[in-house]
Structure 1
Amino acid sequence: MINYISTDFLTVAFRQNGPDDAPVLLLLHGWPDDATTWNEVIPPLTDAGYRVITPWLRGFGNTTFRAESTNRTGNAGILALDAIALMDALSIDTFSVIGHDWGANIAESLAVGWPDRVLRIALLSTPPRLGGMPTPPFQHAQLEWYHWFQATKRGEDAVQKDPIGFAHIMWENWSPKGWFTESTFEQVAQSWKNPDFVSVTLHSYRARWDEAEPDEASRQLETAIKTTKTLSLPALYIQGEVDGVNPPYVSENVHEKFTGPFTRIVMPGVGHYPSREAPELLLDHLLMFLAN
């Protein structure tokens, strides 16, 4: 069942599973995806004794802006502020975060901004931005072509005309051939018909490379993320062996960003979407991490 709750700027669509008094896990999806990416891992997590909160990010699914005057921004800092607003609205004080893709960057942003509330983080498929984002080497920049494409006027026009076709290319290229069915893609793509999906997407990718300013409300947090070199909380990084956009070599030095307990796992035969491609194996790693 989808629930709805209002924050200052959003009406957030989310699912909530598990006992109200259980330890809280906030599961954050990435792009292009939606909250259903967690469908296979939610029941085992609740069976293991956790309360699981899975929202749709701003611009996705039925999460909507409350006012036309609110900027349709999507940088990680403002998405982290959205997440904290959701936790506040639910009267949740402390929690752990599991984030995929965009969700991974939101998770680290939460750890930077609210270290007294975030107990541990698991990052899936996307390395942290701590210390700022240097221009990637040519080999990786080629894989991130869609970042640069969206920074151009012609790219913007093309994405606005066919955001679903744009997203389909990512699903085709980021994981092994045949990993998804078209019916699954079509179901998830309903979330990208949100009227603000394109605006949030374009701003997210432009802002990370300084081609757009971050949302003003998140400027202080964005500065903190760029100036924070390491985190000390328990952290897990999960990397698909055949990830087509962030191959294993991209995350080889992720351990340098963490001074506390840290584990990096490369999942064999898995691409960019571990929660969809190998949920049982992912769950094993998550439960071990959460229990320690």
Structure 2
Amino acid sequence: MNPWSFVTKDVEAGELRVAYVDEGDPHAEPVVLLHGFPYDVHSYADVVPLLVDAGFRVVVPHLRGHGATRFLDDGAERSGQQAALGADLLALLDALGLDQPILAGYDWGGRAACVVAALWPERVAGLVSVNGYLIQDIAASATPLRPDLEAGFWYFWYFATERGRRGLELDRRGIADVIWRRNSPEWRFTDAELERAAAAFDNPDYVDIVIHSYRHRLGLSPGSPRYEQLERRLADQPAIVVPTITLDGTADGNFPATDGSQHARLFTGYREHRQVVHAGHHLPAEAPHAFAEAILDIAEPPGDGAGTP
């Protein structure tokens, strides 16, 4: 485990006071790294030094419901829907005055990055997204997948029940442990790494946001009226026009690696797809050099034409 410890700052942004890491030259080209569930900012413990050494300013926020990020209004809805994650990210860019950063992420964080890149492309210099186009097609949520893929999403169905809510309340770390092992079967993480991330799950809003996220994406819970217009725009599956590199880990336990062609029509600018050997779903932690390399490459994409999916 990288012993390097993140020091967080905080800023008011939209609905939240966001806790975030800010490393590197404050005047350098910015990169925003976004973590997934059930993980935290330490997903990027080995990526941040690589990017700082390459001359970037690197910002890593704790998503809503994680770490020291808190709602400004105690009465606000604890929504975990994709529009909320995207709106949070846009508000953070505004609050920090970040001018066209590169956005990079996986899982929930990759989804937030895809939302902002699709709806506000003028705010984004480039995108790195694990598992491709991550904007949810909620209208198609009732369409079944292959049984082996459905089995990997056991926690989706668990969280759809009150038993699952209670289970998450009682053992956030234990559920994360199971998900980590299934998501990344070749990754040999330590107890200390899991404990370090699990500290972020002690956030008082964690359970409500996680439960709403999974129920909303399955069409089982309504979204917040605050984000209704954004969700309508996302329902159209808007194309991403900013320069993009998508990544698949060949050892991802939930999302088998592809050639990227299934999402090709949704990237209408430069796009390149890469497979990362032996990496699982937690790709930035498992293959930090490959993840950082994608960011370095997207900072200078080769030309303006469409890439090879």
Residue 102 of structure 2 corresponds to residue 96 of structure 1: yes
48-57 vs 225-234, which moves further: 225-234
Residue 79 of structure 2 corresponds to residue 70 of structure 1: no
Partner of 1:194: 203
How well do the aligned residues superpose, as a CA RMSD in angstroms?
1.8
The 3-state SS of whatever aligns with 1:253 is helix
Whether the 8 Å contact between 2:104 and 2:110 is mirrored in structure 1 is yes
Q: How many residues align?
A: 292
Partner of 1:238: 247
| Distance across 2 between alignment mates of 1:25 and 1:81 | 18
Residue 294 of structure 2 corresponds to residue 285 of structure 1: yes
Out of 110, 113, 124, the position equivalent to 2:130 is 124
How big is the shift at 1:133?
6.0
Over 3 Å counting, the alpha-carbon distance change for 1:83 and 1:207 in structure 2 is same
How big is the shift at 1:282?
2.3
107-116 vs 51-60, which moves further: 107-116
Over 3 Å counting, the alpha-carbon distance change for 1:247 and 1:141 in structure 2 is same
Out of 198, 214, 236, the position equivalent to 1:205 is 214
Partner of 1:185: 194
The 3-state SS of whatever aligns with 1:218 is helix
The 3-state SS of whatever aligns with 1:116 is helix
| Distance across 2 between alignment mates of 1:147 and 1:249 | 22
Partner of 1:150: 159
In structure 2, the gaps of 5 or more residues are 1-6, 302-309
The 3-state SS of whatever aligns with 2:75 is coil
173-182 vs 57-66, which moves further: 173-182
How big is the shift at 1:47?
2.1
Over 3 Å counting, the alpha-carbon distance change for 1:187 and 1:269 in structure 2 is same
Aligned sequence identity (%): 31
Partner of 2:181: 172
Over 3 Å counting, the alpha-carbon distance change for 1:234 and 1:174 in structure 2 is same
How big is the shift at 1:244?
0.6
| Distance across 1 between alignment mates of 2:132 and 2:193 | 23
Whether the 8 Å contact between 2:126 and 2:298 is mirrored in structure 1 is no
The 3-state SS of whatever aligns with 2:290 is helix
| Distance across 2 between alignment mates of 1:209 and 1:131 | 10
| Distance across 1 between alignment mates of 2:125 and 2:212 | 29
In structure 1, the gaps of 5 or more residues are none
TM-score (norm 2): 0.89
- For 1:238-278, what per-residue CA distance to the aligned partner results, in whole angstroms no more than 9, with x for missing partners? 11101011112495512232121111111111111111112
| Distance across 1 between alignment mates of 2:196 and 2:132 | 24
| Distance across 2 between alignment mates of 1:218 and 1:250 | 33
How big is the shift at 1:126?
6.0
| Distance across 2 between alignment mates of 1:176 and 1:160 | 25
Out of 159, 162, 176, the position equivalent to 2:171 is 162
